[in-house]
A and B are shown apart, each in its own frame.
Chain A
């Protein structure tokens, strides 16, 4: 089993939930922002010393949910503070961006880090499309074309032009090109069956997060494997990354209390306006088909309403003492056959000291047991 340390970089100081989307930025204090960036980047760099294989960044807009509007900037900072850990951009929201710019920035990260980039090509959560004024209905086809263009930017030996449905560039020749050949490994989201099929068709690694039900997750993984095999890739456990909100403390009780407080802030404050915006996009566009859209909303609602114990039981989170967490990981691994976990320990406003303690417990007590899962 391999582990990724993931961070959302949340804003932790709000008293009340934002009233609407986008969240007002009136409460943002730059000096506090500087502190948070310093702490978060230090924490993420510390993941290398704790035995994590990847450190994961991601992109979100217009919300205290996450302060990484461009996660490549954080990746660049980490490339200078680490030496062996893979830098997993999970990832750039490709349909919202200039794909040539993404190809360039990813190539820069790969070269700057000495070939340590994992290139996430993510469609993104629905409300991000409002932020960048991109038609959500086109998201899948934009992702399909942009992914092809980015790979072309990385691999084409000579300058070339691109005439596509969404993107037209008469002359492209990126500097630098990536260090990894033929190109950095690609990861795509597979949190529903449609996305899972898409990831498999692209022979990418698959990533899944916010798992509400192990049986549903298993179906997505099966769809991914089938699509990957049909496209010429025999997927291994290493191709399957599962994202888990995780709290590790000395005892189960302590972990539950820390997680409970963090989840409360996460759902009450950070997710409040996002849920409304997501519902709007799903209802008013073809971002998902009707069935997928309903399942997505149900998944978010389910995760919000469950207790800590119910979420552990459902296989949605890892929470407890090191021994309990290893047991929970083993159960998920046995059920889903993944070879990677993407661990998010900074849930809501969980104190950074508790996150660091959890990372140390992971290093000293979880990893020695879990690495052989």
Chain B
């Protein structure tokens, strides 16, 4: 069960959901906005999962001083220090992966494990991206349209969310400053990519693997970009095993055999 909360931070209020119990896990949402996916539900069985909403998403107020991805990451770092208050694991989907990377860069002493699901921010200009048309977008996000979660938000909220996303991202597809900063990440990192991901080209995963000292790359065969909904039965156990077992997650167990 996830409960909604609000915390007042230095630049304004931040809405978030919290669910589960156990070691803290910060989950940073995609540009689609926060959604409790089957993967998150699974992780909440062993973790306290914190899901802050980027200001401006889902009809939440924007913060006048938070206008970039790195500024948003600083806000999420403040959120973690204020609400979680201790070392934590962080994960992010796509847009949220980009933010999570900056959180890990700026807070190397706090982030223990980092999980990046099709992370944005390091693709070459003119490659990948989310198609503008609905049909193309669905194909890019889901290998099977039936995997898409139902949309319950109004058109106005969706439009405002999109505008907020555009405000943070601007016209940046390749964040050079982030790329340069990757060696500073100390967290043990899992990069998860769908083999049918056309939104985030695989070069992103290669850049991350080369730049982060302790990174592991896993491909989800047949999955498109929205991994938590497109392949939850494989993504959930993979991330859970990584978070619980650390580097030993590569060792087969009787349960997994």
**Contacts from A to B (Cβ < 8 Å):** 145, 148-149, 152, 157-165, 167-168, 170-171
Cβ-based interface call for B218 (8 A): yes
Residue from B209, B219, B235, B249 with most neighbouring chain A CB atoms (10 Å): B219
Whether the Cβ atoms of A170 and B218 lie closer than 8 Å is yes
A164 / chain B contacts, CB cutoff of 8 Å: 220-222, 234
Cβ-based interface call for B172 (8 A): no
**Contacts from B to A (Cβ < 8 Å):** 195, 206, 209-210, 216-222, 231, 234-235, 238, 249-252, 256
A152 / chain B contacts, CB cutoff of 8 Å: 195, 219
Listed A/B pairs (26) with beta-carbon separation below 8 Å: A145-B221, A145-B222, A148-B195, A152-B195, A152-B219, A158-B206, A158-B210, A159-B216, A159-B217, A160-B217, A160-B219, A161-B216, A161-B219, A162-B219, A163-B218, A163-B221, A163-B235, A164-B220, A164-B222, A165-B221, A165-B222, A167-B221, A168-B256, A170-B249, A170-B251, A171-B216
A157 / chain B contacts, CB cutoff of 8 Å: 206
**Alpha-carbon separation in the docked complex, A162 to B223 (Å):** 12
A353 CB to nearest chain B CB (Å):
50
Whether the Cβ atoms of B221 and A148 lie closer than 8 Å is yes
Whether the Cβ atoms of A160 and B222 lie closer than 8 Å is no
B218 / chain A contacts, CB cutoff of 8 Å: 160-163, 170
A162 / chain B contacts, CB cutoff of 8 Å: 218-219, 221
Residue from A148, A157, A163 with most neighbouring chain B CB atoms (10 Å): A163
Are A163 and B206 CB-contacts (below 8 A) given A148-B195, A170-B250, A171-B250?
no
B68 CB to nearest chain A CB (Å):
30
**Alpha-carbon separation in the docked complex, A163 to B220 (Å):** 5
**Alpha-carbon separation in the docked complex, A159 to B209 (Å):** 9
A171 / chain B contacts, CB cutoff of 8 Å: 216, 250
A164 CB to nearest chain B CB (Å):
4
Whether the Cβ atoms of A149 and B221 lie closer than 8 Å is yes
Q: Which of B210, B219, B250 touches A163 (beta carbons < 8 Å)? A: B219
B202 CB to nearest chain A CB (Å):
9
B106 CB to nearest chain A CB (Å):
25
In the A-B complex, the 4 residue pairs with the smallest Cβ-Cβ separation, listed nearest first, are A164-B221, A161-B218, A170-B250, A163-B234
Whether the Cβ atoms of B250 and A161 lie closer than 8 Å is yes
**Alpha-carbon separation in the docked complex, A168 to B252 (Å):** 10
B194 CB to nearest chain A CB (Å):
10
18 more CB-based (< 8 A) A-B contacts, given A157-B206, A163-B231: A145-B221, A145-B222, A148-B195, A158-B206, A161-B217, A161-B219, A162-B218, A163-B219, A163-B221, A163-B234, A164-B222, A164-B234, A165-B222, A167-B221, A168-B256, A170-B218, A171-B216, A171-B250
Nearest chain B residue, comparing its CB with the CB of A158: B209
Residue from B218, B250, B256 with most neighbouring chain A CB atoms (10 Å): B218
B221 / chain A contacts, CB cutoff of 8 Å: 145, 148-149, 162-165, 167
Nearest chain A residue, comparing its CB with the CB of B241: A170
A52 CB to nearest chain B CB (Å):
37
Nearest chain A residue, comparing its CB with the CB of B256: A168
B198 CB to nearest chain A CB (Å):
14
A60 CB to nearest chain B CB (Å):
28
Nearest chain A residue, comparing its CB with the CB of B206: A157
